[in-house]
Amino acid sequence: MENWMRGVSMRMFTDEDMQRVHDYSLELLRENGINIANDRVLKVFKENGFRVEGSQIYMTEKQVMDALEKTPSHFVIHGRSSARDLDLGGGDYGVCSPIGPVNVRTLDDGIRQGTLKDVEDLAKIYQGSDVININTNNGVEAYDVDEKTGHLLITKAVLKNTDKPVYTRLFTYEQMHEIMDMVEITSGEKLEKGGNIWLAPGSCPSLSPMAYSREVADCIVALAERGQVVTLGSATSTGVTGPIQIFGTIVMQNAEQLAGIVLTQLINPGNAVGYGVAACPGNMRGARYCCGSPGRVMLQIGSIEMGKRFYHLPTRTEPYTTESNTIDVQCGIESYEGSICNILSGADYQLGEIGTLDSLMTTSYEKTIIDEEITSRLFYIKEGIDVSREYAAIESIMDVGSGGTFLMEEDTVEQMHDAWYPTYTDWNRDPDKIPGDDYEYVLRKANEEWKRRLEEAPESMLDKAVEEELDAYIRAHSK
């Protein structure tokens, strides 16, 4: 049967352009190499015949292509409820909650540092969402927990409050394995090479230019050792940690991604990898990370095309970001601009940053709800247009004739509920009830929604025996 649906496709590069990015990236890896000052990783490269000089690793075209050939074009990440499973790269789209903001903001209390209770409350809010389908143990940093045991407590906070697939921030090599041990307890399965995927990092970012930190390299190794997704990424800033030219930054971060893919496949051939996208222009007037710039849209579309169209890899992107520190007009412009390009350019999942303000530094409870509405709008657009004869409505048009109305037409009555309508914004404002200068109307509706979700959330979504086993593990590893 012919497919009559026509979706949106946002593109920037020709096939020839993408081939040039690939070729230039190979040149960088061959001539400059990638720096990874990590003895564990350097040993792996040496044992596999790579040219290594100090901590600089050089890669040939064959070595890169061998790794790409082993990397799967899609992967299934599991939730504790099988209905939550997502086939990323296979047609599903993953909407993740954020990783790593340091503050929270609410309409009630303003801005403050995050706590463990915020981590748990946000996990409950994300669980109650019809849009967010990947939960996280780090919707905000928890400043009231001990650094040595915090990774255990925040991981429990999300595991007990969601049955969706789980994203994690990065920790040390040993701590990443402890996180995966905890996921084993709640999933009832071993996390091992060749097994199911239950965990993904928000990002294993390169250290631009042309390097990976020791800590991130350790996390790549740990995840691949247990057969879990390695989502790569870069937070390159043009003119600062990358070339001022957008094309040059796309080339450089592509080279960095290829190096991360090679490392992952050396640890575990066939391990799932996500091609991550997150670069931004540098704000050369203010020396700041500029995640609200339209140049960021260009960087992301070009990079999404490399991951998705050229390498055919599951591709992760980063929408919703804004420079604004409050929910204002600037926030709306930048959040929608970044989200439309990310969701409609063919990416498969997100390092969500949903609900974030102030260049990813703050998670807003209210903006989380508003960003969900942005996403639902874009999902509706992404579904595309049916161009079949039935949807050309020829018979309906001829039935109504010239000068008639379609209000009571059979098609209208049958399909009127298929249209998109807002949940938190309002198309039918009554100026007598909602004055034009009431700028907090939508914020109040969002405030009511996240409070409703918290009120209705269960105390725990884990069986008592599983939660007790989890608590015993935390006690044993907190000494």
What local confidence, expressed as pLDDT, does residue 287 receive? Answer: 65
Region 1-15: mean pLDDT is: 82
Name the DSSP letter for residue 283: E
What local confidence, expressed as pLDDT, does residue 93 receive? Answer: 95
What local confidence, expressed as pLDDT, does residue 234 receive? Answer: 86
This prediction's pTM: 0.94
**CB neighbours (10 Å) of residue 314?**
30
3-state secondary structure of 17: helix
pLDDT greater than 80 at residue 140: yes
**At a CB cut-off of 8 Å and minimum separation 6, what does 467 contact?**
160, 460
What local confidence, expressed as pLDDT, does residue 335 receive? Answer: 94
Name the DSSP letter for residue 306: I
Region 445-465: mean pLDDT is: 97
- Specify whether the CB–CB gap between 74 and 333 falls below 8 A: no
If one compares 240 and 87, the residue with the highest pLDDT of the two is 87
The per-residue pLDDT for range 43-97, each reduced to its tens digit, is 999 999 999 999 999 999 999 999 999 999 999 999 999 999 999 999 999 999 9
Phi, psi of 365 (to 5 degrees): -60, -45
Region 91-114: mean pLDDT is: 94
What local confidence, expressed as pLDDT, does residue 1 receive? Answer: 59
The per-residue pLDDT for range 371-391, each reduced to its tens digit, is 999 999 999 999 899 999 999
If 0-12 CB within 10 Å is exposed, 13-18 middle and 19+ buried, where does residue 117 land? exposed
pLDDT greater than 90 at residue 212: yes
> Strands, DSSP E only, in 133-208?
135-136, 166-168, 199-201, 204-205
pLDDT greater than 80 at residue 2: no
Region 230-246: mean pLDDT is: 91
Q: What whole-number distance in Å separates Cα of residue 342 and Cα of residue 182?
A: 32
pLDDT greater than 70 at residue 38: yes
pLDDT greater than 90 at residue 458: yes
**At a CB cut-off of 8 Å and minimum separation 6, what does 437 contact?**
none
**DSSP string spanning 322-371?**
-S-SSSSHHHHHHHHHHHHHHHTTT--EE---TTEETTTTEEEHHHHHHH
Tell me the two tokens of residue 470.
């989890």
SS3 content of the chain, % helix, strand, coil (to 5): 45, 15, 40
Q: What whole-number distance in Å separates Cα of residue 278 and Cα of residue 119?
A: 23
What local confidence, expressed as pLDDT, does residue 275 receive? Answer: 97
3-state secondary structure of 425: coil
209 upstream amide cis, omega within 30 of 0: yes
Query: 414-444 in b/e burial notation, b at 16+ Cβ within 10 A?
Result: eeeeeeeeeebeeeeeeeeeeeeeeeeebbe
Q: What whole-number distance in Å separates Cα of residue 52 and Cα of residue 198?
A: 34
Name the least confident of 113-117, 291-295, 332-336. Answer: 291-295
Q: How far apart are the first and last CA of the chain?
A: 62
Average pLDDT for the chain: 93
